[in-house]
Structure 1
Amino acid sequence: MEIRDNKTHLKQIDDIFTDILSPMIQREGSSKVYFYRIIGCDDEEQYLAEIVRLDEKLRSIGNYIFFDERIQITNDSSLIEQARKLFEQVPLKDFSNGAVSNLLDAQGYFSLSSDLQINRKIKDAFGIVLNLYLSNDRPVNVSIVVNFVTKMLLWLVDYGKHIAKKSLYNPKIIYWGSPKTHEVYFLIFMSLIGYDVLVLNTSFNDRFEQVDKQNIFSFVIKKTQELPIHAFPTKKIQEVQQTHIEQPTKPQQKTNGELINSNTLLLKDPIVVVKLKRSENPFEEVLIPLNKRSGYVGDPYPIVPTHFVRYIGVPSSSDDLETEYYNKLYTLDKALQTSGCYLKFLEGIPAPSAAEGAQIPPGFITNLYKDRLGILEQILQAKILPHMNNKLLDNTIRKTFVDVVDLFAEKSSNINLSIVLNFSLKMVTWLNRYLPKLFAQCNPEMSTRAEYNFGHNPKILFYGTIKPHEIYLLEAFHKIGCDVLFIHSSNEGDKPFQIFDKEMSLTHLINNKQNLSLAPFPESERLIRKSTIAYNASKEIEETIYSEEVGLFKPWQFESYLTQPITLKTTYDELKILWREPSKLRPEFKVQNKKVYIPNLFAKINGVNEDLDAYWLDLKEFSFAPNTKLIKDVPFTEINYTKQELYQTDYLLNELGFFDDVKVRKSRHYRFGYLKADLQHFLIAKINELLSSGILLSKVDEKFKLKILMTILTMDDSLIKLIEVFDFPHDIPKVVVYDNKKETFSEADAILLAYFNLIGIDVVIFTPTNYKTIEQQIKPSLFDVHQLPLVKFDLTLPSLDSITSAHKPGILSRFFNLR
């Protein structure tokens, strides 16, 4: 049984556990993929043994993805926001008409391979799955669809790379458990682009029935019994075989009869309970006294709502966002200094010094510990943690210390007792270094009071790059009752926290949209210009009037947009009429999804008129249009680079076969650095678009890609100026070529003409000889050919300035003998 189109077939087989291991070349046909879901279980022991064997073989083959009861999705909020922003302006109706697929294709999300057919298959599969989702779920608003598409897109970025690997074996997926609804769609998508998919679901909870209702996209094997979904069998074996650094030990007996374990180590006395407080304005709310915050409970058993905020990136601003950001940090710093108990880290936390290390009893290093519990017990019994002369605070410090060490052991990989001991002693040293002074500043009379006043709690600010151990100290500060602010101007700085707090339960993340390179913490306020109310009102009015939908455009409004050419098919008379029309007045012009659709012209005019004067007059009309470059001879492109320089640029190609924007702009061959940043990005984006456009007839291999790059980077200044002055909705730049000889266009000429067409520039070629010229380089289907009556050879181009329009009397003038 075969299902789907003629590019990817779904294949039914007798033994999925055997046949899924077969190379593609051995399967009947070259594009057979397997997609099975096995629901329930008969003989559990035999079934699990088969799964273990299959898993081992797939791991040995490689190109294999295993999903254990869920498909993980990135928690990088910047990537999520970047993906979601793509769809901000997309109406709900456009999700089902291919607009979203075209948008993602233009952004390069489907370009996972250098093989254009694979990328096309990815795009088509995405459209199939999106329409299946819209048909099944019938979402009522855009945000629901955006959530689905964003999730699919992020999954594709994470798991779709295997399709580009060259191997005898196509990629494989095993999903253990019962996939959620969105996961079902993603598994269908992966099957459509060429992955073998096997869903192993021992329960009868099968959501495929709600999505793939007719079993079009997958085959189902239903067993007789239902079993709960336990741990994947291979995982069970690994857990049994794994050697832990800590073996369970019997609870040790203390002298007073109290049992010792990591949860009850001398910690039965009351402590301060700290609750994570979340706020979108932490710089202001951190200054509010604890006893004024919602959720605060005082003596005798305090509950204190405190902040632990990761403030990442820079808020967007209508003014100077960098200056506003650093002035905000400066103001915050001054406000925290007035609070009385404030600790600021700007260059990390200094490691324990030799003098501090000498305060640790020497027996800690030489003692042989059976487990982590022994380390914790000895530290607590030795009383080397800071002593604050306040029972409630002392209990809280001891409990926090134990919790932080346990947390470190839980979250660390390849850990042993030596690492735990070193970490524990570093925490002891740091807590002794900072806590006594910090809390004494908040409460000068602390040692003489029976209860600790939690009205004003300490503030901790950490700015810049942070190391994993330093995060645990910040966690300790927070659990003891401090407000903690971690600040970094870029998403890069948050990566250690993304490992520490994947579930976002220990900290509150505020991820701003903009990023800046980390700069020194501000020591003074910067000068800034601020917008007036009238200015902001004017900007709002502009945004309303000059929108994509209204159709009124201000100069250079879309200079940060990309263009999409819509090359018009016209008659010769229409070509002459439309030639001087601005882009916005031509049919098919539109602005949508951060892209300007340019109705441009690309034509070749063979032969000449019977009236040669009329032919020259037409050529003059074309050539004298505003912003037009007349090329009088072909080939017209000079090669301004050597073979050595050509091959030196191969490092500019990325793993997907496209040019890296940043590397190109930094290369020594790049000479467009004087242009606006948006235009530079535009030029490189269009080069990459040309690589996969299929406009040129030549095979676009690596060498030809380098030729494309160097030809464009070294083009004549007069041609660059054509692009510089192109304000997309207005007058379209033009290239007119007069070709009257046997010499045809060179490869470099064709590259430039194809590039201009892709940008949206008008191109017309006059060929009085009727020779086949540009057709040998560019696909003939992409331009019009207009045939005039006569053929002329060696027809020299006259001075067009001397060509004038000879007025001919009309019929009525001749009839009435008028002159």
Structure 2
Amino acid sequence: MSGLNEENNELHNQRTETDAFRATEEFKKMFHDNDSFCYEPWQFADYEVCADTLKTTYDEINIWGKQEAVIRPGWKVSEDTSKVYIPNLFSKISGIYEDTIQYREDISSLLEEGNTLFFKHFPLFHIKRHNNIGRTYSSLLDKKGIINKSKLITCKHWKYSNLKPGLQENIAEKIIEFCKLPDFWKYRYFTTNIKLSVMDKISTFLTCMDSKEARDELIMKVVTLNVLMNLDSRLLDLLQNFDYPLHVPKIIVFNNYRSGNFSFSDAVTLMFMNSMGVDILIYNPGATSDIENFVKDGYFDVHKLQFTNPKFKYKRVNFFVRWIRKLKAKKKLLKEMK
């Protein structure tokens, strides 16, 4: 009987390759090699994403920001480890130009790129409070106190099961790393705008009864999990539509006096999306503090422009103004050539 079962299994697993299939596979090996820079769609969908955030000048934002990842310096694929290194941008632009139209034009030209989200208010997203998130966090831990990936992806609170398998794996890996409290955080505890349930507060207190510092860190981990387990559908769409060698998705934030308060949850969201290879650009005409309240120097660029105006408003430059400016620039260039 066991022999019959083995034979049935063998028959079930047998699949004959057609000549066309074999020819296609040979073609892929020849022309879509990882080092060829000629890739087929979604070739790296199952690869681990490693963000390689570029250090740039202000002028380079509008140069590299419009280029595909494969064209940017730092693009790399490691076939041995199945990792893809995505060169992305993470910049804060403090202040404005004297030429405010050019300043607006710099932003507008980036907003015209596909797969881009634009925000002018905080919080960026209203994070839903998950009841008993503290107990959920505890249930996901292994014996070493680290979130177990299998438990995370298969738990009933995992909302990303409709995403591509490779993307789910990447999101899970990042959640695990973020819940270890990475070194980029400026402090080990931040005041958060997410209220814990009574049961979570009691559980947290009992778990870390002897150490306030440990209790604060645990709360920060729990809040981080809550944010990353409830990512907005717009963020998921950015990631789901991101074919890694091609155009890099963008999150552009414009922060003036009307924007509200930048919170820890906002910082978690932006740092997570940066770790997934997304470009993050924060325009702050008043040069006030936002991301630097939470993240250490060195993890993002700061470009300081000549003037500050916290009440400056962003609006798109209309076609007529663009046309006049281009005409004047062309006349000036012709005059200089003479």
The residue aligned with 1:595 is 83
- Aligned AA (1:655): K
Which residue pairs with 1:763 in the alignment? 280
Q: Report the equivalent of 2:307.
A: 790
Counterpart of 1:714?
230
Report the alpha carbon displacement of residue 541 of structure 1 after superposing the two structures with TM.
2.5
- 1:709 and 1:803 map into 2 onto residues whose CA distance is 48
* 1:732 and 2:248 correspond: yes
Aligned-pair CA distance for 1:560: 0.8
Q: Assess, with a 3 A threshold, how the Cα gap between structure 1 residues 799 and 537 changes in structure 2: closer, same or farther.
A: closer
Q: What's the counterpart of residue 42 of structure 1?
A: none
Counterpart residue number, 2:94: 606
Q: For 2:125 and 2:145, how far apart are their aligned partners in 1?
A: 25
How far does residue 590 in structure 1 lie from its aligned partner after superposition? 0.9
Please state how far the C-alpha of 1:569 moved relative to its aligned partner. Answer: 0.8
Tell me the TM-score normalized by structure 1.
Answer: 0.35
What corresponds to 1:696 in structure 2?
A: 185
Query: What percent of counterpart residues are identical?
Result: 29
Matches within 5 A, 1:82-101: none
Label 1:670 to 1:599 Cα distance change in 2 as closer, same or farther (>3 A).
same
Distance (whole Å) between structure 2 residues aligned to residue 674 and residue 523 of structure 1: 30
Letter in structure 2 aligned against 1:702: L
Task: Kindly state the Cα deviation for residue 661 of structure 1 after the two structures are TM-superposed.
Answer: 2.0
Q: Are 2:63 and 1:547 equivalent residues in the alignment? A: no
**Residue 656 of structure 1 corresponds to which residue in structure 2?**
144
Aligned to 2:263: 746
Q: 1:813 maps to which residue?
A: 334
Shift of 1:794: 2.1
Counterparts of 1:539 and 1:769, CA distance in 2: 56
Contact 1:628–1:734 under 8 Å retained in 2: yes
Contact 2:53 2:90 in 1 (8 A): yes
CA separation of 1:650 and 1:532: change in aligned 2, threshold 3 A: same
Tell me which residue corresponds to 1:644.
132
Amino acid at match of 1:578: W
Shift, 1:523, TM fit = 9.1
CA 1:646–1:804 in 2, change beyond 3 Å: closer, same or farther? farther
Flag the structure with more relative contact order, 1 or 2, with Cα contacts below 8 A and sequence separation at least 6.
2
* 776 and 525 in structure 1: CA distance in 2 versus 1, 3 angstrom threshold: same
Residue 290 of structure 2 is aligned with which of 755, 767, 773? 773
Task: Determine which of 609, 634, 653 is the counterpart of 2:122.
Answer: 634
Q: Which one-letter code corresponds to 2:168 in the other structure? A: Q
C-alpha distance in structure 1 between counterparts of 2:247 and 2:121, whole Å: 25
Conserved? CA contact 1:630–1:737, under 8 Å: yes
Q: Shift of the alpha carbon at 1:787?
A: 0.8
Partner AA of 2:296 in structure 1: K
Q: Secondary structure at the match of 2:280?
A: strand
**Corresponding residue of 2:46:** 560
Cα pair 1:768 1:791 within 8 Å, conserved: yes
Could you tell me whether the CA contact under 8 Å between 2:117 and 2:250 is conserved in 1?
Answer: yes
Runs of 4+ in 1 over 6 A off after TM superposition: none
In 2, the alpha carbon distance for the partners of 1:688 and 1:651 equals 14
Shift of 1:799: 4.7
Answer whether contact 2:94 2:303 (CA < 8 A) is retained: yes
Partner of 1:150: none
* Cα distance between partner residues in 2 of 1:586 and 1:816: 33
Q: Does 1:685 align with 2:173?
A: yes
Letter in 1 for 2:64: L
- Structure 1's unaligned 5+ residue stretches are 1-343, 346-460, 464-486, 488-520
CA RMSD of aligned residues (A): 2.6
Matches of residues 476-491 of structure 1 in structure 2 within 5 Å?
none
2:51–2:274 CA contact under 8 A, matched in 1: yes
Letter in 2 for 1:615: Y
In the alignment, which residue of structure 2 is the partner of 1:359?
Answer: none
For residues 233-264 of structure 1, the C-alpha deviation after alignment (integer angstroms, 9 at most, x for no partner) is: xxxxxxxxxxxxxxxxxxxxxxxxxxxxxxxx
CA contact (8 A) 1:604 1:784 kept: yes
Cα offset for 1:634? 1.9
Specify the code of the residue in structure 2 equivalent to 1:658: I
Larger Rg, first or second structure (1 or 2): 1
Q: Residue in 2 aligned with 1:303?
A: none
Q: CA 1:816/1:545 → structure 2, altered by over 3 Å: closer, same or farther?
A: closer
CA distance in 1, matches of 2:25, 2:310: 59
1:704 and 1:576, CA in 2 relative to 1: closer, same or farther beyond 3 A?
Answer: same
Gaps of 5+ in 2: 190-216
Counterpart mapping for 1:27-106 below 5 A? none
1:736 partner amino acid: I
1:665 positional shift = 2.1
TM-score (norm 2): 0.81
- CA positional deviation for 1:804: 4.5
Match of 2:200 in 1: none
8 Å CA contact 1:568, 1:599 repeated in 2: yes
Q: Report deviation, 1:532.
A: 0.9
Partner amino acid for 2:71? L
Displacement of 1:689 after TM fit?
Answer: 2.9
Give yes or no for contact 1:565–1:600 (8 Å, CA) kept in 2. yes
- CA–CA distance in structure 1, aligned partners of residues 4 and 33 of structure 2: 42
Q: How many residues align?
A: 303
**CA 1:652 to 1:524, structure 2 compared with 1: closer, same or farther past 3 Å?**
closer
What secondary structure does 2:275 align onto? helix
Q: Structure 1 pair 773/764, CA: closer, same or farther in 2 (3 Å)?
A: same
2:64 corresponds to which residue?
578
Letter in 2 for 1:696: W
Q: Kindly provide the CA deviation profile for residues 31-62 of structure 1, in whole angstroms up to 9, marking residues without a partner as x.
A: xxxxxxxxxxxxxxxxxxxxxxxxxxxxxxxx
State the partner residue of 1:190.
none
Q: Which of 91, 105, 110 does residue 622 from structure 1 map onto?
A: 110
SS in 1 for 2:167: helix
- Give the CA deviation at 1:647: 3.7
Residues 643/556 of structure 1: CA separation in 2 closer, same or farther (3 Å cut):
same
Distance 1:627 1:784 in 2: 22
Structure 1 residues 729-786: Cα deviation after superposition (integer angstroms, max 9, x where no partner): 1111110000102743211110011111111111000001111111011122111111
Distance 1:528 1:522 in 2: 10
Aligned to 2:20: 534
Tell me the amino acid that sits aligned with residue 129 of structure 2: Y
Within 2, Cα distance between the matches of 1:747 and 1:626?
28
Displacement of 1:609 in angstroms is 0.8
The change in CA–CA distance for 1:672 and 1:657 in structure 2 (over 3 A counts) is same
Equivalent pair of 2:108/2:316 in contact (CA under 8 Å): no
Q: Is the 8 A contact 1:647 1:706 kept in 2?
A: no
SS in 2 for 1:763: strand
Q: How does 1:137-152 map to 2 (within 5 A)?
A: none
Q: 1:277-288 to 2 correspondence within 5 Å?
A: none
Question: Is the Cα–Cα contact under 8 Å of residues 75 and 85 in structure 2 kept in the other structure?
Answer: yes
Aligned counterparts of 2:336 and 2:245: Cα–Cα separation in 1:
45
User: d(CA) in 2 for partners of 1:718 and 1:612?
Assistant: 30
Cα distance 1:601–1:684, how it changes in 2: closer, same or farther (>3 A)? Answer: same
Change in Cα spacing, 1:697 to 1:813, as seen in structure 2 (3 Å) is same
Correspondences of 1:150-189 after superposition (within 5 Å)? none
- For each residue in 1:120-144, what CA deviation from the matched residue of structure 2 results, as whole angstroms up to 9, or x when unmatched? xxxxxxxxxxxxxxxxxxxxxxxxx
With over 3 angstroms needed to count, the CA separation of the structure-2 counterparts of 1:728 and 1:524, relative to structure 1, is closer
* Shift in alpha-carbon separation, 1:572–1:803, aligned structure 2, 3 A: farther
